Amino acid sequence: MCIDYITDRGPVRAIDHVSLDLERGEFLGVAGESGSGKSTLAQGIMRILPPPAVITGGEAIFEGRDILTLDEEELRKLRWSRMSMVFQSAMDALNPVITIGEQITDTMHAHGDMSARAARDRAAELLEMVGIPGDRLDAYAHQLSGGMRQRVGIAIALALEPTLLILDEPTTALDVIVEREILEEIRGLQRKLGFAVIFITHDLARMLQFSDRVAVFYAGRMAEIGPAEELRTSPRHPYTQGLLRAFPSVHGSTVEMFSIPGTPPSLRNPPAGCRFHPRCPVAVELCSKVSPELKQIGPGHSAACHLAK
Ligand code: ATP
Ligand code: SF4
């Protein structure tokens, strides 16, 4: 898939020939620094990209159909019922003047016939599922903590039993303990209910603990994708290696902290060759001239680096 932002100063390619496949019931983590294109990709898959973004090529196959070729009516049927999404801002997007129960039942009524009683019972069940007592149905958003509000967003996203749930940094604004609890809950629900997850985050280390597979993005391209365990123990792309070292590691009584020098490039004018080369500690001459293809280096494991084996 390719996605451009059409600006006054010309197009900015935020997603550059990215191809992703997802198994039924799989938990895929998508990691990368701010601006690497993660949200653009998620909104592209959902076909909810606001202008000036334009999908300029590729395909996105979901349940055998290319989402990019569907018309608005077909998309409307698919969204929320087959694939749904939770944003970082979901907790602030709840309506302040209607109860959370009504907000969940509204989603159900908008997409199908259900009696008021059945919808209310199901809403209570959904709340329980995401760790909120079912008797909080009549609460208003302001009566809940940030973590609780984000859980309501997840309950709404799960209301119609989608087969794909996309989560775009849903826990970034929350403290680490609440974040961990919510992640564990999503993982548990996903295992129990069998839906697939695309979880977007800037926190690679956290994603490696929770995902089946992880895709690492850099400047609009996929740098590496592979089984989480393998990326954790033997990352092959220097960017993945750098991101993993960018989190504190404890050695005896000392904590080492490393950060990748430099900043990600502007996508308006990205570096030639490998986009990571100005920051790469092992770059060779070829790197500034030729862009590395994503190549397979092991079962289900690929990296876009000239030196990766
Ligand atoms: P973050 O973690 O900060 O949300 P991200 O990895 O999700 O970052 P995106 O929000 O998808 O990244 O943005 C990817 C790139 O697309 C940005 O670096 C920027 O160059 C470009 N971009 C995003 N929105 C616009 C816009 N409205 N106009 C022009 N360019 C944009
Ligand atoms: Fe570094 Fe070259 Fe590999 Fe890019 S292709 S990550 S610059 S070694």
Phi-psi region of 100 (alpha: psi -120 to 50; beta: other; left: phi over 0): alpha
Q: Which ligand is nearest to the CA of 39?
A: 1
Instruction: Domain of residue 159: give its range.
Output: 2-234
Nearest CA among 182, 152, 167 for reference residue 91: 152
Q: Structural domain tally of the chain?
A: 1
**Does residue 187 sit within a domain?**
yes
**Does residue 197 sit within a domain?**
yes
Residue pair 139/161 in contact (Cβ under 8 Å)? The answer is no
Q: Which residues pair with 168 in a beta bridge?
A: 200
> Given the CA of residue 280, which atom of ligand 2 is nearest to it?
1
Q: Whose CA is nearest to atom 31 of ligand 1?
A: 5
Q: Which ligand is nearest to the CA of 3?
A: 1
Q: Which residues line ligand 1 (CB under 6 A)?
A: 5, 7, 12, 14, 32, 34-40, 52, 202, 267
If you measure from the C-alpha of residue 274 to the centroid of ligand 2, how many angstroms do you get, rounded to a whole number?
6
**Does residue 136 sit within a domain?**
yes
**Does residue 80 sit within a domain?**
yes
**Does residue 240 sit within a domain?**
no
Q: Which residues line ligand 2 (CB under 6 A)?
A: 237-238, 274, 276-277, 280, 282-283, 287, 292, 305-307
CATH of the domain at 104: 3.40.50.300
The number of helices, as runs of H, and strands, as runs of E, in the chain is 10, 15
Q: Which ligand is nearest to the CA of 267?
A: 1
User: Tens-digit pLDDT profile for the chain (309 aa)?
Assistant: 999 999 998 899 999 999 888 888 999 999 998 889 999 999 999 999 999 999 998 888 888 888 888 999 898 888 888 999 998 877 778 899 999 999 999 988 887 778 888 899 999 999 999 999 988 999 999 999 988 999 999 999 999 889 999 999 888 877 888 888 888 989 999 999 999 999 999 889 889 999 999 999 999 999 999 999 999 999 999 999 999 987 665 555 555 566 788 889 999 889 999 999 999 999 999 999 999 999 999 999 999 999 998
If you measure from the C-alpha of residue 28 to the centroid of ligand 1, how many angstroms do you get, rounded to a whole number?
21
